Structure 1
Amino acid sequence: MLKKRWLMMLVLIISLSTGCDKQFYTIHQDHSKVETFSQQPKKEVINKENSKKDTTIREKSVKKEIKEVTIAAVGDIIFHKWQLWRGYDAATDSFDFTDTFQYIQKYLHEADYVIGNLETTLAGKDNGRILRPENAYKGYVGFPCFNTPEILAKNMKDAGFDMVSTANNHALDSHPEGAIQTLDYLDEQGIDHVGTYRSQEEADTLFRKTINGIDFAFLSYTYGTNGFEVPADQPYLINTLDMYNEVKIQAMLDKVREARESGTDFVIVSIHFGNEYFNYPNVHQKNLADRLFEAGADVILGSHPHVLQPFEIRDIVNDDGDTRKGLVIYSLGNFISSQRYTKPYPSQTDIGVIFEMTFKKIEHHKPQFTGISFMPTCTFRDPEKLTILPVDEVLNHVSDFDIELGDYSRGRLTFTQDYAYQHLLSYTTASYNYKDYRYSIAFH
């Protein structure tokens, strides 16, 4: 008993003599030995563990996966009679439009995904709607109801196109059957499409595409269909706003909200709107852009005016108070057509652009829309071909191109070089860099 009391007193003395460090003891059952340990070593162990965790976190942050995507967009792709006869080979009784894209395809192939506005139908030979027989050629037809040889789908795929918007005012040029046949030819070449559909199920299904690990939703709409009515038993055939009918606009906005809420990283909307040959957007375009951004769009790609219209960079406030970058280009202009500037018709219909958008996604961070760049293009024609030229490259290295620039063509290229970038930048004061024939703006 005395031995036990002596042992307890010894424990108390040791405890008081340790200062602020708390001591813990183990007494063996036979009372033969007392072991002590303090909390301090435990703290050191914890710190070491935290240090290891911090190091691991730092190592992980260095190794965080960074995903990047460049999407290129171009404007209206239209084939008039003058392009049809240039693309025809009498020896084989066939068409080919490879040379349409030969000088710009290297730039399209640099992008991860390329979008265009297919403003014609691919309905098959003799399946077009011929309103002006003088514009028909070898079973196909140009203006005003376009039906282009189906080889165009292959030529576009080879040139680098990945997707086309098919909702535009010429979508029903070759009857409803032609609109569906167009989709079949696109599918044969592996070209994605949005805006026209074969069934209600197709129309209801949100088109999403994962590119380099970043998820995008794509939608497409048109203001109308040139008076050609959508069949009552095929209401799904085309996404039309019926000349800005408010019910149709609300349905479009609801679909954009659905896309935003689907968990996709970015929502891109192609919309066919505005006035033909107007250099600046009208009230409908501006109003719809505002409403589309509010509904959840990140990018709005405009078409229909056949001339370039400026772009705007927006800071959009989300419902949670965060902001995101938004972009609207009101019109991408013509990418390829037979239209050109003349004194009687002084519209810049031969000027287009390859418009690139960059997106980034860093692991454990919100995806970001990080910047844009654009390259002016111009349509060139001679007796043999009608093709798209990268303006700045041609003016700097014309000897590298198998073309002869006359006074008219050189004048158009020189004009485009000055006009295109200044006009596109009309609505922004952001600074830009010029490199590799591109004008680039980085978002901060």
Structure 2
Amino acid sequence: MRGARVALVAALLGALTACSSPDGPAPPADTAGAASSSRTSATQPARASVSRPPTASATSPAPSPTAAAPASITISAIGDVLPHAAVNQDAATGDGYGYDAMFAAVKPTIARSTIGICQLETALSADNTRLTRKNTFNSPHELARTLRDVGFDGCSTANNHTWDAGLRGVRETRQVLAAHGLQAAGPTATAAGSGAPARYDAPLRVAHLSLSYSLMNSIEEDTSTTPPGAPWMRDNLYAAQRAEGIIASARRAKADGADLVVVSLHWGSQFDPAVTTDQRTIGDALLRSGAVDLIIGAHPHLIQPCAKINGRYVLYSVGNFLSTQGTAVGSPVGAQDGVVATVRFERDRAGRISQSLTYRPTWVDRGHGHRVVLATPTSHPESYHRTVAAMSRSGCDAKVEP
């Protein structure tokens, strides 16, 4: 165990020092594909393969000659993965960290989706130094291995804790994710590739953008201020880009071959179940533009309702997925609630794409190792009913899975 972990750390540190690009090397070409194929069965949709974002000199792919062929995919998304120090203590094994037990209950749901997307609200450390202290988040690299093993294909990394470990943290986060075959949509450590989406090759090709109200922990202040020395990161600030800039990025992604554009937005008011005017205004503009097909919202740490606008879904906030927040530490009731939201996209022979949304309520069991468990009418019923009520508050047609 120790030898394998030392080898992994050595490999990651090698990537930090040996690569010619500050953002680190791409994972081996077969890493994501091998992991994906092992999760595919005759009853499950084929997993997406990971496409690296194109460089500025890359040639845009030609449109597929079968662009209007019938096709369908599912995208599963979760809320904030926010490992407080108490979460990491529960994950400590003595010679490293193990998060598998915390995610075990939701693995079947994530693994059966074509694409799994997480909201990573922490930096990742390549050598497990400078780890999380209070509200400054930097998590062990083993978290990425668990995320990939559970079935995630990539993560949104734009949030108000992006800069918690500084520029080094931004660089190492991408390197650790790449080493485990995970895409990153969010800020880059250099101007090269800034604002480029993560891309997933599937029966319907997907581009994923990630933006936040802030990349520094200036709570609840919408700002266009970039971290010191990193002006290119304005590409991931929705206060700087506003709806027009995001729509332009989405249109470029579709011109480059994407059939669908997903946008992760870190927005809203912390611990507030109400959708803000800013969320409604931006969400409405993005979905009515026709350039954006799905919005995944996070940051409030509570479930907020979904809505369907122009035939497309906005999940205003999918709550917490993994954290130590809860009434026992002064957070409001509902801070332990989350969902695995799954959107099914189907394209017919005329090229029209329709959507349907299902979800599974989750709850963080803080008292038993911070395990994320499924909330049902008979298991954690209070959490289940809170989540169902919140999701349907605005008349969203999402269906809860049995």
TM-score under structure 2 normalisation? 0.75
Q: Distance in 1 between matches of 2:244 and 2:400?
A: 40
1:40 is matched with none
Asked if the contact 1:79/1:142 (under 8 Å) is kept, the reply is no
Match of 2:71 among 67, 83, 108: 67
Question: What is the rounded CA distance, in whole Å, between the counterparts of 1:198 and 1:391 in structure 2?
Answer: 38
Match of residue 379, structure 1, among 359, 364, 387: 364
Output the CA distance in 2 between the equivalents of 1:301 and 1:253: 15
| Aligned equivalent of 2:259 | 265
Residue matched to 1:340: 326
Aligned residues: 328
Give the direction of change, closer, same or farther, for the CA distance of 1:297–1:336 in structure 2 (3 Å limit): same
Deviation at 1:237, TM superposition (A): 4.1
CA distance in 2, matches of 1:262, 1:343: 47
> Please, which of 287, 301, 309 is the counterpart of residue 304 of structure 2?
309
The answer to whether the 8 A contact 1:275-1:282 is kept is yes
8 Å contact from structure 2 (residues 79, 119) kept in 1:
yes
Shift, 1:433, TM fit: 5.6
Superposition pairs for residues 202-351 of structure 1, below 5 Å? 202-211=193-202, 213-226=203-216, 230=226, 233-237=229-233, 239-241=235-237, 244-245=239-240, 250-295=244-289, 296-315=291-310, 325-342=311-328, 344-351=330-337
1:101–1:294 Cα change, 3 Å: same
Moved more, 230-239 or 330-339: 230-239
Larger Rg: 1
Provide the residue aligned with 1:42 in structure 2. none
Higher relative contact order (CA 8 A, sep 6+): 2
Matching residue within 103, 114, 117 for 2:116: 114
Asked if structure 2 preserves the Cα contact closer than 8 Å seen for 1:118 and 1:165, the reply is: yes
1:116-138 CA-partner distances (Å, limit 9, x unpaired) = 1000111244643xxxxxxxxxx
Structure 1 residues 238, 78: closer, same or farther in 2, change over 3 A?
farther
Q: Provide the residue aligned with 2:154 in structure 1.
A: 163
Taking structure 1 as the reference length, the TM-score comes to: 0.69
Q: How does 1:346-425 map to 2 (within 5 A)?
A: 346-362=332-348, 364-382=349-367, 385-392=369-376, 395=379, 413-425=380-392
Structure 1, residues 274-304: CA drift from partner, whole Å, max 9, x if none?
1000001111111111221244211111010
User: SS where residue 123 of structure 2 aligns?
Assistant: coil
Aligned mate of 2:93, from 89, 99, 104: 89
Shift of 1:260: 4.1
- Structure 1 Cα separation of the partners of residues 366 and 197 of structure 2: 40
Q: Show structure 1 runs of 5+ residues with no match.
A: 1-63, 129-139, 316-324, 396-412, 438-444
Deviation at 1:241, TM superposition (A): 2.6
Q: Structure 1 pair 258/70, CA: closer, same or farther in 2 (3 Å)? A: same
Q: Structure 2 counterpart of 1:370, which letter?
A: Q
Deviation at 1:65, TM superposition (A): 5.8
Structure 1 residue 104: Cα displacement: 1.1
8 Å CA contact 1:256, 1:292 repeated in 2 = no
- Mapped contact 2:388–2:400 kept (Cα < 8 A): no
For 1:355, give the aligned amino acid: A
Does the 8 Å contact 1:124/1:150 carry over to 2?
A: yes
Within 2, Cα distance between the matches of 1:147 and 1:343? 21
Q: Which whole-Å CA distance do the structure 1 matches of 2:166 and 2:179 have between them?
A: 20
Verify the 8 A CA contact 2:207 2:260 in the aligned structure 1: yes
Q: Are the structure 2 counterparts of residues 379 and 205 from structure 1 closer, same or farther at C-alpha, using a change threshold of 3 Å?
A: closer
Question: What's the C-alpha RMSD, in Å, of the aligned pairs?
Answer: 2.4
- Separation in 2 of the partners of 1:294 and 1:184? 35
**1:63-212 superposed matches below 5 A:** 66-90=70-94, 93-125=95-127, 127-128=129-130, 140-211=131-202
Shift of 1:175: 0.7
Q: Take 1:142 and 1:155, find their aligned partners in 2: how far apart are those partners?
A: 22
Q: Deviations over 1:148-199 (max 9, x none)?
A: 1110000111111111000000011001111110000000000111011133
Q: Deviation at 1:422?
A: 1.6
Deviation of 1:141 after TM superposition, in Å, equals: 1.5
**What percentage of residue pairs aligned between the two structures are identical?**
23
Counterpart residue type for residue 422 of structure 1: A
CA distance change for structure 1 residues 142 and 333 in 2, over 3 Å: closer, same or farther? farther
Q: Partner amino acid for 2:327?
A: Y
User: Structure 2: which 5+ residue stretches go unaligned?
Assistant: 1-67, 219-224
Distance 2:170 2:69 in 1: 42
Whole-Å Cα distance in 2 between the matches of residues 292 and 158 of structure 1? 32
